[in-house]
């Protein structure tokens, strides 16, 4: 079942970036199944769900079916020059390669690292991998890769087998106007619909429809009270860049051409082409700290050099369409079509999980803090994320069962004599 409301299509074509996050999640009711969905970014860099589908399983065939309908539904893929980002699913990669020859496909760096750390552990390798991912200049990326090669040859070979255009900013093209490295678009939508995934299919889709209708209304009402030229999160981001631009000075070299430098770096900014050789302005459409220095030297405002996709007018165009309410099922018109067949039950053993599986090194509650806004630390095991009341380990970091086993072994080693 493919689902796409008219407000979603109008909003996506009205000004959303051509950056699509693809992912799937499990349905928790007795028939099982999967929800496949495509999510974009609006002018405020918030998620904008575009389309979704309910399928039996997340396979190559189901992804091809969903993406074929999605491409036929949008009908302007050549003009948009879409860029997909995914969690590197083995079923999705061949589907995109089959259908789209010119579409860029990026991988979520968080999921790359989750696979990377299985065989290549250590904080130093983790930091080096992320430095490679956030590098915006090819020469900087090569230096970071050489650093990883000096640390671990096998870790270098693992990353070298992944095309740089799929995970590092230094090889991204500016077609999507984003330097996003992770698939948080899909993760956020998954969290938004989490409460509906244990309901029957029609009830689940109605719940999601109401959730989207409420979201669009809130967005429209909120932007009407906002008086800025740029959207709020983009303006906040620009203000931080203005502070970071203070150590730099600009030297004019020609008409709107400047050399910008500080004690440690030097860059070239062209205000006519709206480019900087650090490539951050090219990738985002937001002036970088070097460009802001030249803009102030030229006695202008950075807001005037920001791409129009971040304007308040664009945001209002995206959310202008109303998602209409729908009457109850008792008022639906009968179509005369035959009753649908009962789906196959793909039910794994055990109780369906309600929460996602956490990584081995991920704390159980990373957001738990004390009243002084400090991370909570256990007084027994000295680990963060819980206190001594909720600690499952003893003073020595043992579980109660492990402690009993250790005491029994110590008692047996002493010949049955109790410890003094």
Provide the residue-wise pLDDT of the chain in tens; the chain has 420 residues: 999 999 999 999 988 998 999 999 988 877 788 999 999 999 999 999 999 999 988 899 999 999 999 999 987 666 678 899 999 888 999 999 888 877 889 999 999 999 999 899 889 999 999 999 999 999 999 999 999 999 999 999 999 999 999 999 999 999 889 999 999 999 999 999 999 998 988 899 999 999 999 999 999 999 998 999 999 999 999 999 999 999 999 999 988 899 998 888 899 999 999 999 999 999 999 999 999 999 999 999 999 999 999 999 999 999 999 999 988 888 888 888 888 776 666 666 677 666 767 666 666 665 555 556 677 778 777 777 777 776 766 555 566 677 778 888 888 887 765 555
How many Cβ atoms from other residues are within 10 Å of residue 415's Cβ? 6
Q: Are 66 and 90 in contact (CB under 8 A)?
A: no
CATH of 1-107+182-229+311-326, one of 1.10.150, 3.30.420, 3.90.1070, 3.30.70: 3.30.420
- Quick one: CA torsion of 146, 148, 150, 151, rounded to 10 degrees? 170
Q: Where are the domains of the chain?
A: 1-107+182-229+311-326, 109-181, 232-304, 365-414
Report if pTM > 0.75: yes
Q: Are 108 and 88 in contact (CB under 8 A)?
A: yes
- 209 CA to centre of own chain: 22
Looking at the DSSP bridge assignments, the partners of residue 40 are 48
Q: State both tokens at 305.
A: 């050099």
Q: State both tokens at 340.
A: 């649908």
Three-state SS across the chain?
CEECCHHHHHHHHHHCCCEEEEEEEECCCCCCCEEEEEEEECCCCCEEEEEEEEECCCCHHHHHHHHHHHHHHHCCHHHHCCEEEECCCCCHHHHHHHHCCCCEEEECHHHHHHHHHHHCCCHHHHHHHHHHHHCCCHHHHHHHHHHHHHHCHHHHHHHHCCCHHHCCHHHCCHHHCCCCCCCHHHHHHHHHCHHHCCCCHHHHHHHHHHHHHHHHHHHHHHHHCCCCCECHHHHHHHHHHHHHCCCCEEEEEECCEEEEECCCCEEEEECCCCEECCCHHHHHCCCCHHHHHHHHHCCCCHHHHCCHHHEHHHHHHHCCCCCCCCCCHHHCCCCCCCCCCCCCCCCCCCCCCCCCCCCCCCCCCCCCECCCCCECECCCCCCECCCCCCCCCCCCCCCHHHHHHHHHHHHHHCCCCCCC
Residue in 238, 248, 244 with CA at minimum distance from that of residue 269? 248
């Amino acid at each position: 079942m493919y689902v796409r409301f008219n407000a979603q299509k109008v909003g996506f074509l009205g000004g959303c970036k051509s950056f699509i996050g693809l992912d799937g999640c499990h349905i928790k009711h007795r028939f099982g199944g999967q929800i496949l969905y495509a999510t974009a970014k609006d002018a405020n860099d918030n998620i904008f769900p575009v389309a979704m589908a309910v399928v039996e399983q997340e396979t190559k065939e189901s992804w091809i079916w969903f993406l074929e309908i999605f491409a036929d539904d949008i009908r302007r893929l050549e003009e948009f020059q879409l860029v997909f980002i995914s969690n590197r699913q083995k079923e999705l990669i061949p589907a995109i390669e089959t259908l789209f020859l010119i579409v860029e496909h990026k991988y979520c760096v968080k999921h790359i690292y989750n696979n990377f750390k299985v065989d290549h552990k250590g904080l130093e390798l983790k930091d080096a991998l992320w430095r490679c991912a956030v590098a915006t200049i090819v020469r900087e990326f090569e230096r970071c890769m050489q650093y990883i090669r000096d640390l671990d040859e096998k870790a270098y070979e693992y990353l070298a087998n992944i095309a740089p255009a799929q995970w590092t900013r230094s090889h991204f093209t500016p077609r999507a106007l984003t330097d996003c490295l992770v698939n948080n678009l899909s993760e956020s939508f998954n969290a938004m619909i989490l409460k509906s995934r244990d309901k029957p299919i029609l009830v689940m889709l109605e719940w999601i429809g109401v959730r989207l209708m409420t979201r669009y209304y809130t967005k429209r009402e909120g932007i009407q009270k906002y008086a800025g030229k740029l959207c709020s999160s983009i303006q906040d981001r620009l203000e931080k860049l203005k502070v970071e631009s203070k150590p730099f000075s600009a030297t004019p070299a020609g008409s709107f051409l400047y050399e910008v430098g500080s004690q440690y770096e030097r860059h070239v900014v062209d205000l006519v082409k709206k480019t900087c050789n650090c490539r951050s302005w090219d990738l985002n459409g937001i002036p970088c700290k070097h460009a802001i220095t030249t803009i102030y030297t030229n006695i202008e405002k950075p807001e005037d050099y920001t791409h129009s996709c971040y304007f308040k007018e664009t945001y209002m165009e995206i959310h202008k369409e109303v998602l209409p309410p729908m009457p109850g099922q008792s008022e639906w018109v009968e179509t005369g079509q035959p009753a649908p067949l009962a789906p196959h039950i793909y039910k794994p053993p055990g109780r369906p999980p309600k929460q996602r599986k956490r990584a081995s090194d991920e704390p159980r509650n990373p957001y738990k803090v004390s009243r002084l806004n400090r991370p909570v630390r256990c007084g027994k095991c000295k680990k963060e994320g819980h206190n001594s009341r909720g600690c499952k380990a003893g003073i020595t970091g043992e579980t109660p069962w492990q402690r009993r086993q250790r005491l029994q072994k110590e008692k047996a080693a002493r010949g049955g004599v109790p410890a003094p």
